Amino acid sequence: MPPRPPRPHKLLVFLVLFLFSVPLLRPIHMAPTAAAAAAVAGGGVEAEAEALLGLLQRVQSEALRAFGPNDFDPKLYVDLPLAADASAAAALASLPRAVPSRGEMEAYISRYFAPAGSDLVAAADPPDFERDPPGFLPRVERAGARAWALEVHALWKDLTRRVAPAVAARPDRHTLLPLPGRVVVPGSRFREVYYWDSYWVVRGLLVSKMYETAKDIVLNLVYLVEKYGFVLNGARSYYTNRSQPPLLSSMVLDIYMATGDMAFVRRDEEFASKLSTAAKEKFYHQVASTAETGWDFSSRWMRDSTDMTTLTTSYIIPVDLNTFILKMEQDIAFFAKLIGESTTSEIFSEASKARHNAIESVLWNADMEQWLDYWLPTDGNCQAVYQWKSNSQNRAIFASNFVPLWLNAQHSGLERFVDEAKSVRVMRSLQKSGLLQPAGIATSLSNTGQQWDFPNGWAPLQHLIVEGLLRSGSGEARELAEDIATRWVRTNYDAYKATGAMHEKYDVVTCGKSGGGGEYKPQTGFGWSNGVILSFLEEFGWPQDKEIDC
């Protein structure tokens, strides 16, 4: 009998499967439905989990009637686990029929449900956590900056959790999904793992020398792939209908580059009341698609920036999504070559080149020196040959227009996405765009009240653009990258000193001010903000004679 061929490495197989279903340039579409995900996972328990979610949505509605809209957080109610001595049937039967008073609703919730977040348990100090790890930020010389960086580093302990064993034992009693390893949550109302947040958490953990915790995060995401067929938006049953920007391969690559751990790469086993009913269904589809982008919500996805019901996300070819997919194709080509699978490497190398050409052909705007989202027609006719139209590019200015620069920041052996001369032209466009503000890069120029619009700045966007400028080959671009990072570090520092917390987003017009707007209260914690600050301090240091205050 001939010898069996070696088993494909699971992680590589997962990454390959992601890509085979992705066309060259794609608009945002929802991931498989919850029903489809349940079918993949096997049926019965998922049906019970769906029943719990239906109950919690009823509780959510009754709570809104009882407590009123002021300071109401709808997420709180769908995160509630059933109390140990309660059943879903009893909770449903006891749900108040008339409009409940505040006291009645509080008593009902206390009787039938445990507190939100109680199905996550605080982990003991992660075994790879050290108070001041060897080699931590050696170029941060100023005492105040270093003391603060160590406080940010220590926040990993506060954000590290494990999913309680009861979740795996009785998943029908929780919307939280079981995960095998330690998790790092963003913080505040975000009590679960999120996909694209995890990339910047991993980057920060690598600065903190917490390599095993970083690996746990990736292996948890791989577990979700094994169970649902894709990485969920977040580890909750109500997120099984969508994903987020595809950054899993980037996490694996960064861990490998930091540790050289081939065993990790090769591991087999861990690897709107005014709308009609039809219009509502279309609108909710667009809402879910927008959540997949990570930019929920922004005028970027609206035909009319003043009207949420004009969301048309699934008809947009986004600049950043295609950037992330191209990066994933390059990563898979790299991994495949690393483990000797040359045919697979060549397939994905060619795919990345084709996507590169498509991005430059469809999304690049030579007049603006930016990459622009492309708007597809909404008449549903996408089957015929389509003629590219220049007026279908969205000429509004968003930070995402500059995200392809990030592809310059690649592992060795690959050419830059754009050459130095073009990178400099893009840099000049950024400088003239109006996005550069005293405390960082604004998300857009439109102040709509949405959180992914002006005046908010977000850690991931600062990091993507700074890394791209930094690796462009231009000394001037490197200076701008350091200037943006300095602005961002200072606003985070001043806000931390004023509030004692790291924030989810910041108002980039005013140094030291946290951000606002959107569908919920501003949150603190905060995973990706911590990760980006540590990454910037590692990259640029902080000299003794450089002020860190605004």
SS3 53: helix
Known catalytic residues are 296, 504
**CB burial readout 328-355, b (16+ within 10 A) else e:** bbbbbbbbbbebebeebbebbbebbeeb
How is residue 114 written in tokens?
């445990």
C-alpha distances (whole Å) from 509 to each of 145, 512, 549 are 22, 9, 16
Q: What's 303's DSSP letter?
A: S
Residues 6+ apart with CB under 8 A from 171: 45, 48, 49, 177, 178
At 155, give phi and psi (nearest 5°).
Answer: -65, -20
Tally the residues of the chain.
550
Residues 6+ apart with CB under 8 A from 357: none
> What is the rounded CA–CA span in Å between residue 356 and residue 456?
30
Q: What's 29's DSSP letter?
A: -
Q: What is the CA radius of gyration of the chain?
A: 23
Element housing 476 (H / E): helix 475-499
Residue 255 CB neighbours (<10 A): 22
> What is the rounded CA–CA span in Å between residue 550 and residue 397?
27
Closest CA relative to residue 106, chosen from 97, 98, 96: 96
SS3 311: strand
SS3 403: helix
Identify whether the C-beta of residue 187 lies closer than 8 Å to the C-beta of residue 525.
Answer: yes
